[in-house]
Amino acid sequence: MTGRPATGRFVEVADRVHVLCEPLLRVNVTLVVGDGAALLVDTLSTARQAAELAEAARAVTAHPWTLVNTHHHFDHCFGNATLAGDPPRPVYAHGLAAAALREPDRLRREAYEEMRDEQPALAEELAGTELLAPTHTVHTETTLDVGGRPVVLRHPGRGHTAGDLVVHVPDADVLVAGDLVEQSGPPAFEESYPLQWPESVAELLRMTTPATVVVPGHGDPVSADFVRAQHAQLADLAWLIRAGHTGGAPPERVAAEAPFGARPALTATRRGYAELDGTL
Model confidence pLDDT, tens digit, residues 155-178: 999 999 999 999 999 999 999 999
DSSP H/E element including 138: strand 136-138
Band of residue 4 on the pLDDT scale cut at 50, 70, 90: low
- Domain membership of residue 275 (yes or no) is no
Q: Is the pLDDT of residue 8 over 90?
A: no
pLDDT tens per residue, range 62-71: 999 999 999 9
> Which whole number is the average pLDDT over 219-246?
98
SS3 16: coil
Average the pLDDT over 215-220 and give the result.
Answer: 98
Whether 26 is in a domain gets the answer: yes
Neighbours of 118 (CB within 10 A): 9
Mean pLDDT of the chain: 96
Task: Answer yes or no: is 64 within a domain.
Answer: yes
Residues in the chain: 280
Domain contains 252: no
Domain assignment present for residue 259? The answer is: no
Domain count, the chain: 1
Residue 255 falls within a domain, yes or no? no
- Give a yes or no: residue 3 inside a domain: no
| Contact assessment for residue 95 and residue 137, using Cβ atoms and an 8 Å cutoff | yes
Q: What is the pLDDT of residue 3?
A: 42
Instruction: State what percent of residues in the chain have pLDDT above 90.
Output: 96
Q: Taking the mean position of all CA atoms in its chain, how far away is CA 38?
A: 19
Residues 6+ away with beta carbon under 8 Å from 279? none
pTM score, whole prediction: 0.96
Residue 127 lies in domain: 11-223
Residue 276 is assigned to a structural domain of this protein: no
Q: What is the pLDDT of residues 55-98, one digit of tens each?
A: 999 999 999 999 999 999 999 999 999 999 889 999 999 999 99
Report the CATH number at residue 21.
Answer: 3.60.15.10
